[in-house]
Amino acid sequence: MKSSTILVIDFEFTMPEGKYRPQNFFPEIIEAGVVKAANHQVIDTFSSYVKPKKFPKLTRRCKTFLNITQEQVDQGITFATLIEKLKALDSKQDSVIITWGNTDMRVLKQNCIFNHISFPFKGEMRDLSMEYKNFFGDKTLTNLWKAAEEYGDSGMGKQHKALDDAMTTYKLFQLVERDKQYLGKPKPTTIGDRIDLSKVFPQAT
């Protein structure tokens, strides 16, 4: 890893009422959760609701699926404030950014364009869900909390709560990195590998 500092990020987004989207609809970030870690230790966390700008009124489907209220979002920070917070967490601009899936960064870039704000990150970006898929040879991408269960563990907190999902992603990141290192190490040499047993126990004639 290029940097010893990582930011594990999870966002929750607005969503249309049904499968048919309103004209010009795009998902906006309404909740952010960030875990900052260095040297295998969590050193900071951030969690906040974020006020959407294009479609400020949440749909019933969105509120039900995310267990979120209109009041919580209305009292959230602006998108510009969120960007400033993300920049502060990545002050050296060299953190490794880790997400579960590629949607979070794609939506963040789209929201930055809409708000005429520069994308806040310059460091390496890693999609842990793709790494998990390749590591275990799965044919399809796995849901975050299902992956946690497959590892014999449970998620942290509540599903679709941004900081809880970020903490669960960080936990899985640590497990996957541990197993990668374990599998990457050569097997220890056995006594049989070091000694020519044929000389110790000559074959019977």
Q: Which residues are catalytic?
A: 12, 160
Neighbours of 120 (CB within 10 A): 18
Contact 163, 49 (CB under 8 A): no
Q: How far apart are CA 32 and CA 36, in angstroms?
A: 13
Contact 36, 79 (CB under 8 A): no
Q: How far apart are CA 173 and CA 118, in angstroms?
A: 28
Q: How far apart are CA 203 and CA 95, in angstroms?
A: 61
Q: CB under 8 Å to 187, separation ≥6 — which residues?
A: none
**Structure token pair of residue 114:** 């809409």
